[in-house]
Structure formats: structure tokens, C-alpha cells
Amino acid sequence: MIFFENTLITVISLSTPLVIAVIGETISEKSGVINLSAEGTIMICALFGFIFGYISDVATLGFLFAMFLGAGIAVFISYCDIKLRMDQIAVGFVLTILLSHLSNYLGQDYVRLNGPMITKIQIPLLSKIPFMGNVLFNHSFITYLSILLIPSAWFFLNKTTIGLSIRSAGENPLAASSRGIDVKKMRFLGTIIGGSLLGLAGATFSLYTKYGWSEGHTTNYGWIILAIAIFGGWNPYRAAVGAYSFGLLQVLAIKAQSVTLALSQILPLLPFPIMIFVLIFIQYINTKDGKYVPRVIVSLIAGNQPKALGEKLPEEIK
């Protein structure tokens, strides 16, 4: 039981940045914008979050700055998307390459330094509940934030007017605009919220789960969260499940090191074939033969890809 409890605690805290990032990416994609720079954004925000935390010795400042930086990068992406009508994929790729190399270069002086620590906050009363109390209510504030983020993002997208407007812009920009919705503003908003969450996720790596800075500190996490966003079918809850499952495999891998080395090397790789199979399966559901797949499974796995995801804004929207 203790083993189980410990594993869950580690999974929840280790998955914190993944959850934050994948929800950010989901919100951005719901507005129709793929933030393909996730890999680069997370990396550079991890560096600058750490630098700010290190200089000021206040972790919160590091988190805040990383959010601003992530939002700033999102502003640039939005400018390319809305004003210049450039291809989102091209912009994202170039940004990723640029930002990840830039962070390696700028981060040389900050390798293996000690920055500020963030402490765990036990929530009074709740943390006294046996088992659940330890698993859920004995974490750092950033982990609480990531947990709260899941239902809030769902609520924001599905139950608020702005969320609905953002989704409508991502589904059919022309229709949304003909109903008087400022599509450009909605896309901008979605991208900014998404970008700032990616930034926050970056700082969470360097100030919490993968404490410190080294070259290629967050390599590949950006690509992973892009895949989890698809896996999550653009639904915050499912995206979170994806992020936690990924975290679980990683934790199991670490624990397996003491048992067998082979297993500890295979487990971290497992998400990738699983991801590919799920994507193939989603594709299969959409084909003719897919109708034999039970409804329950379809509704669990198939996602609501925003119709206008990744598309340039129509010329009619000036």
C-alpha cells in the first residue's frame, strides 16, 4: 500500500508540467492555432524561469516571468498567424529550432546551479484523510494549480461565453465572424492563454520537477505534449489522463531500475508505440470498417478535432 501511495504521489507531482502544458496546447488548438513551438517555448521558458528564480531567489518570480515569456512567444505566433497569414506549421518549427538552440547557448552559465526551492504545502484537515490525503493534498502549490487547471479549463471552454466563442473560431472562422464574433481576437486570446501555460510548464520543469538547468534540459517534452493533446481528443480531462499515464510510465521506469534494467529502459519508450497505435486506431474508426467498433470505445477514443485547426484565416476576415 505504501508503495502504491508513494507511486501515486510521485506521478502526480512529476506530471505537473505535462498537465499544465497539455492543457495550454489544448486551449490554443481549440481556437484553431497549433502552437508547434511547444518544444522550444518550454525549453526557453524553463531556462529563463530558472534564471529569474536564481537571481531574485524567489521561485514565484521565475514562474511569473516564464508565463510572460511564453505569452510573448505566443504573441509573435499570433502576429504571424493573424497579421501576416503565415503557415502555422512553418512558424512553429522554425521557432522550436531557434528557441531550443538559443536556450542551450544562453544557459551555459547556469548549468548545475542551485536556485530557489518550492516547498510542499499540506492542506489542513484534508491532508489528514488516510491515503487520499497524502496522495492529493500534500503537494507544492504548482501541483495544486495543475490539478485545479483541469476542471477550470474544461469549464472555461465548455461553460463560458468566451470559451464558446474561442471554440467557434476554431471550428469555422467564417461562420463565427458572420455572427459578429471577433475571430482574430478569439484566436489571439486562445494562443496567448495556451502560450503562457506552456511557459509556466517550462518553469515548472526547471524550478520543480527537473530541478536546475542543463543543456537540453527539457528535450522532447514539447513534442510529447503535442502528441498527448491529440491523444486527449481536445478534451482537458482526457488530455490530463494522457499526461498522468505518461508520468506513471516514467515513474514505473525509475522504480524498475532496482529490479531489472531492461524494463526500466523499455517503460519510458512505451508511450510512443501506444500513441502511434491510438492514432492509427482513431484513423481506423473513421473508415468504413470502423463501424464495428463498439460505440463506447469510439466515444472514449475519438476526439473532436477543431475543424479549422492549423488553417490560415480566410481572406474574408480582414
| Interface contacts to another protein, rule CB under 8 A | 161, 164-165, 167-168, 171-172, 174-181, 304-307, 316
Decide whether 157 or 203 has the Cβ nearer to another protein: 157
Give me the least distance between CB of 233 and another protein, in Å please.
11
The CA–CA distances, whole Å, from 58 to 17, 121, 141 equal 19, 16, 14
β-pairing verdict for 120-122 and 138-140: antiparallel
Q: List the grid coordinates of 230.
A: 491529440
Decide whether 58 or 174 has the Cβ nearer to another protein: 174
Decide whether 176 or 225 has the Cβ nearer to another protein: 176
Q: Distance (Å, rounded) from C-alpha 67 to C-alpha 198?
A: 8
DSSP letter at 163 equals H
Give the contacts of 134 (CB within 8 A, at least 6 positions apart).
5, 9, 127
Q: Counting every residue, how long is the chain?
A: 318
Give me the least distance between CB of 118 and another protein, in Å please.
34
Give me the least distance between CB of 86 and another protein, in Å please.
17
Give the contacts of 284 (CB within 8 A, at least 6 positions apart).
290, 293
Decide whether 139 or 187 has the Cβ nearer to another protein: 187
Give me the least distance between CB of 129 and another protein, in Å please.
34
Decide whether 109 or 315 has the Cβ nearer to another protein: 315
Q: Distance (Å, rounded) from C-alpha 241 to C-alpha 136?
A: 15
DSSP letter at 264 equals H
Give me the least distance between CB of 178 and another protein, in Å please.
5
